[in-house]
Structure 1
Amino acid sequence: MAETSTSARPFKKVLIVGAGPSGLLLAVLLSKHGILVHIVEASHELDQQPRAAHYGPPAIPELARAGIIDLLPESGGMRLNSMSWRRFEDHTRVAGFNGGVLRDAGSVEAFATEDLRTACLPMQDLDAILLDTFLTKYNGQISWRHRVTNVGGQENGSEKAWVEAEILTGGLDMTKATVAETVRLEADYVVGCDGAQSIVRKSLFGNEYPGKTWDAQIIATNTYYDFAGKFDFDDANFIIHPEHFFMAAKITKDGLYRVTYGETPGLTLEQYRERQPWKFETMLPGHPKPDEYKIVNFSPYRMHQRCAPKFRVGRVLLASDAAHLCNPWGGLGITGGFVDVGGLVDCFTGIWDGRADESILDLYSEKRIEKYKTIIDVVSSENFRRVSDSDPDSRLSRDEWLQLCKKAEGDVEFTKGLLLGSMDVRYDFTQHYTK
């Protein structure tokens, strides 16, 4: 940790609501700069559900400067090198690219690493690495079983921000937990990284979360099945079909895949579980029976495209899913969240070091909303329309992105330029430092 004297700084402490990946990454990066951080989390442990597992090129610089990216291999993680879109009937390739060209792409700009290939690791494993780094390397503070119910500090002229939190007791079933007491915790800033149902966002805007919910249902699983060895699949594969669309993307070196697929909306969890063997036999290559694969996790999800009106109100800020949501096809949700975090860190450290004033936090809100509306929302929406296209046979002839992927085949420099276009979702807030 950098040696600092908090008494000589413009602020002393940041309180983060939510011990998810974005909250933990924010805590690590702020702590690395010497800023005091306190995390509060309603649960008694990290989330174990299968959520994001792929962190795209724009997120890699943030994982690198947190010192996390080099820890992924020893935790079973890997880098993604190949991606393709495939036909449903025979699973042959429509188009794809070799992401391995980004192994040394970071030399193009001043990023924290030269290797910008997509990183792959189940989120719960990445969370564990981030938490361990925060607690052991930076002696960080985290309060488990603290359920935030209210937030203050959004008023003009507020000198502090605060949260009210219920301290929960009882068993591990959160629905049956009892409230032991309510506490008030203060800091100079509160950052909501508490997900799609963010209490921090609701304290600012009530139920206002503009956007839409897709009329579609997806099921996310972590599954062992030999896609590469038996069927020559790439590291990540998107199968195009109006009903049986799915993604199969490798997430660990031992052959664990994230298999996410479309389902009929409106069914119960039990019905989705009952239908799963039929879905796998219908859509996966080789038409496997249940004894030919192993499902480790299984979770249904609805998909949303939403963005909060502002990411900063007074001393209260939002990042990642608390600030914006998008469907998971293409990984822009967690990638965009990590890019939010990196931008917010640059804003906070600029203020901390006396190189920026508080107005840079308004710029954070403005620019991150702009990036959501012009890139994240647009690209992720088209990603879902692509994989669930009603006429897969003609998709290539109507799809500029797939045509560019075809053009890039065998051309390293064209491929590199095409993939580096994803870095446009980032924004350099340090250019606004005044000193």
Structure 2
Amino acid sequence: MPKINHVVIVGAGPSGLLLAILLARNLSIKVTILDASDKIDSNPRAAHYAPSAVYDFTRAGIIDDVREQGFTPKGICWRLKDTTFLAGMGREPEQAEFAMVVLPLDRLGPLLVKHFESLPNTEILWGHKLVGVQQDADTATALVETTKGEKKEISGDYLIGADGASSGVRTALFGKEYPGETLKQQIVATNVYLPFDERHGYWDSNFICHPTDWYMAARITKDGLWRVTYGDSEDLTREELIKRQPKRYEEILPGNPKPGDYKLMSMSPYKLQQRCAPSFRVGRIVLVADAAHLCNPFGGLGLTGGFADVGSLYDCLHGIHIDELSPDILDKYSSVRKGIWRDMIDPMSRANFHRLWDPAAEKARDEFFKMCDKACEDPVWGKSMAQSVMAVRHDFEQYFKSKGGDGVGGFVDGGKA
């Protein structure tokens, strides 16, 4: 008798949809997704998926479609504002099975929805805002209000909070406090047609180092759309940031382009956060991705960490479903994923950010650039460094009883230490 019949996921973002596809396609579990909006988020957001994410795209059966719509990038580098090359690695696209792939989230989202809705026992309820949660020994319930003012209770064996930084699920569990800090700098993410590669010799991903005019420019589609994410003053309002965009482009980008020199498609200001929830599990309610933890976007560790949460949680629910793991494995999920955020995602994302502008990070930046040079000189070592992002994952299947695990996150006699 299967242990899990129905999972309710709050949030139709990339992490919620990926988990939903994994559960529905591979385990035939009924999945209901609730989302307060009436459509997929189209704001400029992440576009780069590391090998650790590609691993779970493969498990979900979506990687072929993602690769068909996206592309494998050619290299990442760091430059000065005048475009002087500082360091780089991965100039040739990786040919490995789980090589990075690039596809903007606003294009990945509809692809995920299409896959999810093609599976049996699946449903997305748009316009369903979570206003509270309840649970008992056997079920977890989402209390929702629809855009028409209806009140509903939707119950499942488990309730997953994948509803982003302002998560209603996390708020229902812990209140509005989200431990951590808001960084002083603000960023503006823009999507623009401006051929940096043709005009300035840019690689597919470029980080520009400067005390005030730092930015990232990365190609994100096959037809030449670029993501430009730059910093601006913490004192400016959203409206002021949007109004200043042409001025900032002219100030910071090579060639000092004016509005007639490019085609701006979209833009969205963001505050930078480094935060982590007190726990990722309370009974039958579990948090993933931005609902559980936040970091700045430089280096792509926010989405990478979110997808790694999904892979770990899928392992756990899989094990519970087939009686290989106890539900108590979710405590191990919480402690492991929190530890990876604390020990890897938070410090690495901070280092990635400070490398762009902070004079105090100059020594660490030089050491990092030496490591990039070594990766170029020694392809074998470089490949191992590129794959090191896999460490953000954690394999919970190793705790399956049939593999020598004890079902709760440890090992029986003779198992792994």
TM-score (normalised: structure 1): 0.89
Partner residue, 1:407: 374
What is the deviation of 1:124?
1.2
Aligned to 1:36: 30
The whole-number CA distance in structure 2 between the counterparts of 1:273 and 1:187 is 42
CA separation in 2, counterparts of 1:396 and 1:128? 43
- 1: CA distance, partners of 2:62 / 2:351: 31
1:398/1:51 Cα in 2 relative to 1: closer, same or farther (>3 Å)? closer
Question: What residue number does 1:93 align with?
Answer: 85
Identity %: 45
Residue deviations 1:48-80, cap 9 Å, x none?
A: 1111111122211011211222112443x1112
Matching of residue 163 in structure 1 with residue 135 in structure 2? no
State the shift of 1:117 in Å: 2.4
The aligned amino acid for 2:75 is S
Distance 1:99 1:27, change over 3 A: farther
What's the offset of the Cα at 1:100? 4.2
- Match of residue 154, structure 2, among 185, 203, 209: 185
Moved more, 229-238 or 134-143: 134-143
Match of 1:422 among 389, 395, 398: 389
Report how far residue 102 of structure 1 moved.
Answer: 3.7
Residue 367 (structure 1) aligns with: 336
* 1:298 matched to 2:280: no
For the Cα contact (< 8 Å) 1:81–1:117, is it kept in 2?
Answer: no
Q: Paired residue for 2:203, among 214, 234, 259?
A: 234
Q: From the superposition, tell whether residues 318 and 99 of structure 1 become closer, same or farther in structure 2 (CA, over 3 Å).
A: farther
Taking a change above 3 Å as real, the CA distance of residues 316 and 246 of structure 1, as seen in their structure-2 partners, is: same
Distance 1:253 1:426, change over 3 A: same
Q: Does 1:12 align with 2:29?
A: no
Q: 1:11 to 1:345 in 2, by over 3 A?
A: same
Tell me how far apart the structure 2 counterparts of residues 101 and 252 of structure 1 sit (CA, whole Å).
15
Amino acid at match of 1:364: Y
Distance 1:292 1:251 in 2: 19
Residues 208 and 214, structure 2, Cα contact 8 Å, conserved in 1: yes
1:345 aligns with 2:314: yes
Separation in 2, partners of 1:25, 1:101: 25
Q: How does 1:11-410 map to 2 (within 5 A)?
A: 11-32=4-25, 33-75=27-69, 77-88=70-81, 90-98=82-90, 100=92, 102-104=94-96, 114=97, 116-138=98-120, 140-153=122-135, 158-169=137-148, 179=149, 181-390=150-359, 395=362, 398-410=365-377
CA contact (8 A) 1:396 1:402 kept: no
Question: Would the alpha carbon gap of residues 62 and 100 (structure 1) be closer, same or farther in structure 2, given more than 3 Å must change?
Answer: farther
In 2, Cα distance between equivalents of 1:363 and 1:276: 45
Return closer, same or farther for 1:137/1:184 CA change in 2, 3 Å cut-off.
closer
The amino acid that maps onto 2:298 is: W
Q: CA RMSD in A?
A: 1.5
Q: Secondary structure at the match of 2:56?
A: helix
Task: Work out whether residues 101 and 412 of structure 1, in 8 Å CA contact, stay in contact via their aligned partners in 2.
Answer: no
Q: Residue 99 and residue 39 in structure 1: after superposition, are their counterparts in 2 closer, same or farther (change >3 A)?
A: farther
Counterpart amino acid of residue 289 in structure 1: K
Bigger Cα displacement from structure 2, 402-411 vs 233-242? 402-411
Letter in 2 for 1:56: A
- Report the Cα distance in structure 2 between the residues aligned to 1:82 and 1:259, rounded to whole angstroms: 16
Following superposition, the deviation at residue 268 of structure 1 comes to 2.5
CA distance in 2, matches of 1:99, 1:230: 18
Shift of 1:401: 2.0
User: Are 2:355 and 2:365, in contact at CA under 8 Å, matched by a contact in 1?
Assistant: no
Deviation at 1:361, TM superposition (A): 1.1
Query: How far did 1:398 drift?
Result: 4.8
What secondary structure does 1:45 align onto?
A: coil
Once the two structures are TM-superposed, the CA of residue 136 in structure 1 deviates from its matched residue by 1.6
2:29 and 2:121 in contact (8 A); partners too: no
Deviation at 1:139, TM superposition (A): 5.2
Structure 1 CA distance, aligned partners of 2:337 and 2:73?
26
